[in-house]
Every structure is written in C-alpha cells, then in structure tokens.
Structure 1
Amino acid sequence: MNTTTSPSSSSSPAAGALDGLRVLDLSRVLAGPWCTQNLADLGADVVKIEKPGAGDDTRHWGPPFFPDEHGQPTDEACYFAACNRNKRSVTVDMATPEGQQLIRQLASSSDVVVENFKTGGLARYGLDYASLSALNPRLVYCSVTGFGHTGPYAQRAGYDLLVQAMSGLMSITGHADGEAGGGPLRVGVAVIDLFTGMYATTAILAALHARERTGRGQHIDIALLDVAMATLANQGASFLNAGVVPQRQGNSHPSLVPYQDFPTQDGRMLLAIGNDGQFARFCEAAGTDWAGDARFATNAARVRHRQALVPLMSEVTRQRPTAAWIALLEDKAVPCGPINDIGQAFDDPQVRARGLRVAQQRWPDGTPPAGRAVNTVVSTASPLRLSDTPVQLRHAPPALGQHTEEVLREHLGLDGERLAALRARGVV
C-alpha cells in the first residue's frame, strides 16, 4: 500500500513553522476546514469546535464510510478525513450561554478564529469579529461566506456547485454543446471551496505578519464568489481585455496546441506541449514533418489551424499504446502521461516515492474507547515541503469530541468537577 505512517508521539519532531500559533476553528464542511488544516499541518494548534452529538456536517456525508475492524462500514464518513487532520475536536453547544462563554474564553487566548457562518450569524451569540476583537485586539478573524459581507447577495447561503455555475466556471468546463456529452459541467472536486481555503490561509498569514507591525489583528472577508472570479485567471483576462467570452472545448486549451488528450492503441494519453521546441521534438520522435509546415511551425499558427492538426496527430497517436508513447517521449522533454483513475494515481511510482499516502492512529495507544471502532485513518499528505520546519503529523482526523476535556483543561484550566457539570448539562 506504501502508506507513510505518522511519527509516534515520542519521536519529538521538530517544531513546525507555525508552532505556538493558536487557531480556533468554528468552520465546517470544506472551505474553512481546508484553511485550518493548512495551518495545522504547518504546526498551529487548531481547536475545532463541533456541535455535541452531531459535529461537522461532513462526518455524515457518505457513503463511503470508514470500515471497522471487521471491514463493515461505520457511521463516520470518509469525507471528514480530507480536511481535518492535525486538529483537536472539542464539542461545545454554542446555542447555550455557557457554551458561548467557553468559546469567548478560548478566543481570548487564540491568535486566529476561522468561521463560515452566514453574514451576521455569529453576532447573536456574541461571537462575531466586533465582540471577540473587543476581548482580544490581536485576534485575526477570518470569515468565509458564499458571497461576502456586502452586496445584494450577502445574506444568501453559498455552496461550491452554485458558485461554479454563477461564476462562469461551468460554462468553460465540459465538451461543447455540439459534441457528445456536451453541456456545462462541474469540476470533479469542490475546487472553489479548496481555492477559498487556500486564499484564506494566505490572508491569515498576511494578517499575522501585519500584526507584527501594528500590534492589532483584523477581520478577513473571504467569499467563494470572489475567489471563483479570481481563479478564472487567463479565461477571465481574455474577456476583460479582448471581449472574448470563452467557450467549453473539452480537454483542449484555448491558447495552446497540442495541449489535450489523444487516442492511443489501447486508450488515451495526455500531451501537454507548451512551446515550439517541444512540438518539434514530438514531431521528430513521431516521424512526421509537421514542425516544418508553416501552418504548425508556431503555437499561434497551430491554434489557428487546430482543426487540421489534431486529426493528423490522432491518426499517428493511435499507432502505439499509451505506455509506448510515454517511453518514447520521456527522455525528449515532451510532456506526456497517462489518464489515470484515482486508484492508479495513488499507485503511481512518483506518488509512492513522494509519500503522498499517509496513515495515522486516531488512538495512539491502539485502544479506542468503547463504541469507537475507527483506529487507522488514511489521508493525502500535505504538499507543503519546508526544509527546516517540515509538516508534522500530530493528530489524526479526530473523533467527535475526542479532545474536549484535554483542551478545556489545558486552555481554560477547568477541573474534572466543572467538566462533568458542563457535560451533564449538555454544554459540552
């Protein structure tokens, strides 16, 4: 399986880049948790607040569900593991005054709060930026919403799929209307949520750096729609500067040719030729003289004559299996690769060599409490590779409320009697 196992708690790993940073995570689902997992991977102490008895929505977004020790599905969805590694789960009912007070106390000693409630949703609990910054002026408070805190859509709930549609992303994803399977298509993962989480991470780090100069935190307003519009990138720039409304064109590229999938003897492969030198080397390897043809000699010419070149290339690529093309082109610096499914991707030699599949023990001593069957959790390793302060795997994606007593003792100094009383009243 080539799964990298997390370091044991006794190995005393080097401090992470964000060691000592306290993050209070009031977010759920994907965009906010993706951000806080980035911070946690980099060494921050992230305390995830969840509703008692229910927790983050993604704990229930299945199937698939984690298997138990007998291989039978539990009631814990695999989705949750994607974005909650290295965090500690604390259950607090923020609908109760006592729960709100606990969260305010945690925020008072935190550096960062991340939340993704609807605009104004936390003000009624006294957990909005104005309320918490009055208690802790150094607090960096990041709000993630669908449409931001201003504008006519500010009160709307926002979801990745909805924003993919509204932003125009779906209009440029998929095959053209006249082709088989044509029509708008969502991207296969919630990319707007993921991009939003990454932008939120960047904004938080920037605000922390600014705090070093000013001594004060600030409010960060991150909206899915804003992020979606920004990540249209070259497609957005084409419209804004040339008035060109991009259209769907399957796997081909609007500005590069050949940059798409091609048929092979046993399936399909991907060619990503980004310059004229690569195209010339492909032609030499394939035994063609297209690089000397004025219609195809430059990328701009190839884009204009796409309809002539692609069928010619397809006839040639069909003559060899995918693996043979990869072997032929690999040492000629011509980008070429297979179109893997996810299982094949995780089995790829490069993916295995980079240790991108990691396993963690949710219960480090190997003995889960009664009723908690899931022990080993597998996730994808962080792509952040820092030479001096590497990412450390400290906590598996936590069971609901796994760290409640630990954190409340450690951060707030609550004793066993107080914790038992809070639990008896359903506050935690």
Structure 2
Amino acid sequence: MRTEPPSTQDRLPDRDRTPPDATAQPLAGLMVLDLSRMLSGPYLTMVLADLGADVVKVEPPFGDMIRDQGPYAPEDEVRAYGGYFQSVNRTKRGIVVDLTRPQGAEVIRRLAAGADVLVENYRPGVMERAGLAYETLAALNPRLVYTALRGFGDPRTGASPLQHWPSFDIVAQAMGGLLGITGPAGGPPVKAGPGLGDILPGLFGAVGTLAALHERESTGQGRFVDVGMYDAVVAACERIVYQHAYTGAVPGPEGNAHPMLCPYGVFPARDGHVALAAAPADHHWRLLCEAMGRPELGTDERYATNERRCARQTEVIGIVGEWTGRHTRAELTALLGGKVPYGPVNTADALFEDAHLKARGMLRQVEQPGLDRPVTVAAGPIRYGGGTPRAPHRAPLLGEHTDDVLRLAGYTDAEIAALREAGAIAGPTGAAPQG
C-alpha cells in the first residue's frame, strides 16, 4: 500500500534544493544527506550529484580526513582543500555537525526526516551509538533510503566474522582477488592504480540506492542498502571465480595478456605503448594481419581461431609486438584506429589534449578557493538524450552551507546560534569563494 510522502514543511523546499543548472537532470529535487568520508561514500554521492541530486555533505568539526591531503597548486596559500577533496566532493553543499554531541545528532535526525537518501561509511555500530541507526531514522521518515558502505558489510544483511575490521582500498583490492591477478606474469601482486577498492563499492552503492528509490515509487517505503567493499571487489573480479569453479585453476598475475583471448593486451610502440584486442572476433585478427602487411597470417591454420592463437600465445604476442614496436603511436593509430579495437596508452597530459574527451565534456573546470584560475576535474560519464550534463561547481568550504541548510530545515536563527554555542554545529569557515 502506497504511503503519503512527508509534508512540504518536513522537507527542504524543492525550489531551493534544485540548483539553477539542474534542468533536465533525472535526480533534480532529490535530497541526499552525505555522512560519508574518504573515497567510497563520497564517490557514490558524487555520482548522484552529477545526476542532479542536492547532496549535503556533513562533516565533523575537523572536516573530512581527505580535505588536507592535496595535491595543492603551488600558488595556493589558502589550502582550503586539495585536489582529492575537490574531485569527489564537487557539486555538493557542505555543513559541519558534531555527531558526538546530542544536539548534533538531533540535527541529523531532523535533516533525515526530510531527506530522500542518507549515505554513510562508518564501521558497524558507530551510527547506532550516536542514536542514528537506520531503524531510528526510518521511524522518523519511512521513505528514507539509507545506504551503508562498509569494509565487510553490515550485520543486517549478513553477519561476517570480519564485520568490525577496518578497511581501506588496498585491503579490499587484496582480499577481493584484484591484487592476486594484477602485475607481471609470474611476479608479485600489484595494486591497481585507481582506488578501485573504494570506487567499485561506491558505484555498486549508487546502483543499489537508485534501485531502492525506484522501488519506493510503488511502495512508498525506503530501504536499508548495504555494500561491502570486499564483496564489491569480488563481484568485479568475477572471472577468477568461474575459472576456479570450472577448472580448479588458481589464476595469478597475468601481466598485460589475457588468459582466454589472443592477441589482447598492451604492446610496445616506438614512443610508448598501445592496447589492442584482435580477439575473440577472428575477423579482427585478419584485419590486424592486413595492417601488419602479413595477410597470410590471417588465414594460417595455426592462428585462424582465437583458441589456436591462445595455444600459441607467446608466439602471437611476439609477432604483433615486433611489428608495433617499429611504429610510433600516431602511425599505429592511422593504421589501426577504427578497424580493430585499439587505443594508445594515454598518460594524464595526453588526456587534456584528447579530442574525444573534449567533445564529450569529460574534463570540466571548477573554481578553487585560493586560486585566481580554475582547476580541472574528471566529469561524470553518464549522458542522457535531450539534456545537458549538470555543470559541476566547486567543493564546499568546511561548513560553508551550515546556516543555509538548517534554515531550510526549519531552524530559526536563534536555534542555529544556540547550536553553534553548544559546539554542535560550525561554519562557514575557510577562504572566501573566488569570482
């Protein structure tokens, strides 16, 4: 049975929760209360913000731990926050609430009563000790979707013997199997460059949150959504699970080759490296052979199928690598681009000059407090027909929007002053906005 949504006085007004540039954004009007820190939770809420949600980032008085982790521009003397914080907290509003104080916890309860989503990534028990358990908040707001990201999941969805272990990206990558298959073939495990142990649970968490919001449209009820970092990495490393289940094999570091596809990987060029995948589609192998000036290899029975090429993987990789190594990346792009799955191995500086990324608006400029020039961050990749991606704005200063958000939730100026006097809230602090 569908229930009625909270009355308008219990929720932040839509006209104030929807930024002017959020027209045609699918999550416009959605309020997200973000109590997360570091990378996994902020990445989740960043995805929602990119899609139009009004994300209110809640920080303790000392701020999110990544605020001061840099990097900083050399001329930035203010150092309100570095690139790490800017990248995953852009397009959010920021407030400071001290959850260790009863008055601070009451502020969160009041905000949650009018929110659509709450996201946190504390260890199990932290929110309960603050009087902010899911059950407590759901009683105040049955429509609330409460999403928790934890290292090893939440006991509500499946108790784990590791439930109270702390976890970071490297731990999730290691335990989930990613490190075990990354690195030079036969060599030691190697961490993936990006923080996939955080980013993957953030993405799965975003999917789970959106699914719960969709369900709420028909039931009127929110849900508790739980994603474990360990679980998310295992899900992403699905190949090693079925490989072991079907064959008993224990996959190890694979280098740049693929155990079941050939040629598929990274190959040398005169001025760097390129990636190409002339498998499993055998016609791509034939096209590659034509580009190499050796069309006879495309029909040679020894290499005609992916299965046969995999059986001769060292030989095939040697043939392709010897050819690619005689050409520059630009030459290889001219020979292979648009014909076989191919691309140069880009470094960060190359991304800034890339025509595709410019056309797709994937690198966006935002203000940086303390600088008289903008900085660049990676944009969200989701695009919708008939709309324009939400233009990102800079990350919030510590407590920048505390007063504004509390006023929208119904607090009077006197109440806000009393909360500040009690140390339950803070802000705004930091540098004045640029421009």
TM-score, normalising length from structure 1? 0.89
Offset of residue 381 of structure 1: 1.2
- Within 5 Å, give how 1:12-31 maps onto structure 2: 13-31=22-40
- Within 5 Å, give how 1:101-250 maps onto structure 2: 101-149=106-154, 150-177=159-186, 182-250=187-255
Offset of residue 74 of structure 1: 2.4
Aligned AA (1:392): R
1:392 is aligned to 390
Aligned AA (1:300): E
Offset of residue 339 of structure 1: 1.4
**Retained in 1: the 8 A contact 2:22–2:52?**
no
- Tell me, yes or no, if structure 1 residue 338 matches structure 2 residue 336: no
Give the 3 Å change call, closer, same or farther, for CA 386–133 of structure 1 in structure 2. Answer: same
Aligned AA (2:25): G
Q: Give ranges in structure 1 of 5+ residues lacking alignment.
A: 1-8, 363-367
Counterpart of 1:379 in 2: which secondary structure? strand
Offset of residue 248 of structure 1: 1.1
Counterpart of 1:60 in 2: which secondary structure? coil
Offset of residue 55 of structure 1: 1.0
Offset of residue 337 of structure 1: 2.2
Aligned AA (1:89): G
- Greater CA drift, 82-91 or 312-321: 312-321
**Retained in 2: the 8 A contact 1:31–1:193?**
yes
1:48 is aligned to 57
1:256 is aligned to 261
Counterpart of 1:261 in 2: which secondary structure? strand
Deviations 1:21-48 (A, max 9, x none): 1111111111111111111111111111
1:315 is aligned to 322
Q: Which has the higher contact order (CA 8 A, sep 6+)?
A: 1
1:422 is aligned to 419
Deviations 1:98-128 (A, max 9, x none): 1000000000111111111101111011111
**Retained in 2: the 8 A contact 1:81–1:377?**
no
Count of residues in Structure 1 that have an aligned counterpart in Structure 2: 402
1:80 is aligned to 85
Give the 3 Å change call, closer, same or farther, for CA 10–32 of structure 1 in structure 2. Answer: closer
Aligned AA (1:283): C
Deviations 1:257-277 (A, max 9, x none): 111122223332222223111
Aligned AA (1:386): Y
Looking at structure 2, the residues matched to 287 and 386 of structure 1 have their Cα atoms a distance apart, in angstroms, of: 42
Counterpart of 2:81 in 1: which secondary structure? strand
- Greater CA drift, 297-306 or 348-357: 348-357
TM-score, normalising length from structure 2? 0.87
**Retained in 2: the 8 A contact 1:47–1:87?**
yes
Looking at structure 2, the residues matched to 378 and 132 of structure 1 have their Cα atoms a distance apart, in angstroms, of: 37
**Retained in 1: the 8 A contact 2:68–2:79?**
no
Looking at structure 2, the residues matched to 321 and 15 of structure 1 have their Cα atoms a distance apart, in angstroms, of: 44
Looking at structure 1, the residues matched to 267 and 198 of structure 2 have their Cα atoms a distance apart, in angstroms, of: 31
- Tell me, yes or no, if structure 1 residue 280 matches structure 2 residue 286: yes
Looking at structure 2, the residues matched to 396 and 171 of structure 1 have their Cα atoms a distance apart, in angstroms, of: 37
Deviations 1:153-199 (A, max 9, x none): 0111111101111122101000023xxxx310000011121111111
- Tell me, yes or no, if structure 1 residue 326 matches structure 2 residue 324: no
Looking at structure 2, the residues matched to 268 and 377 of structure 1 have their Cα atoms a distance apart, in angstroms, of: 28
Give the 3 Å change call, closer, same or farther, for CA 123–375 of structure 1 in structure 2. Answer: farther
Q: Give ranges in structure 2 of 5+ residues lacking alignment.
A: 1-17, 426-435
Task: Please tell me the root mean square deviation across aligned C-alpha atoms, in Å.
Answer: 2.0
Offset of residue 338 of structure 1: 1.6
**Retained in 2: the 8 A contact 1:88–1:395?**
no
Looking at structure 1, the residues matched to 22 and 68 of structure 2 have their Cα atoms a distance apart, in angstroms, of: 33
2:46 is aligned to 37
Looking at structure 2, the residues matched to 72 and 86 of structure 1 have their Cα atoms a distance apart, in angstroms, of: 23
- Within 5 Å, give how 1:55-94 maps onto structure 2: 55-62=63-70, 64-67=71-74, 70-72=75-77, 74=79, 76-94=81-99
- Greater CA drift, 312-321 or 301-310: 312-321
Looking at structure 2, the residues matched to 159 and 261 of structure 1 have their Cα atoms a distance apart, in angstroms, of: 29
1:405 is aligned to 403
**Retained in 2: the 8 A contact 1:65–1:73?**
no
Aligned AA (2:293): G
Give the 3 Å change call, closer, same or farther, for CA 308–65 of structure 1 in structure 2. Answer: same
- Tell me, yes or no, if structure 1 residue 301 matches structure 2 residue 308: yes
Counterpart of 1:119 in 2: which secondary structure? coil
Looking at structure 2, the residues matched to 256 and 44 of structure 1 have their Cα atoms a distance apart, in angstroms, of: 41
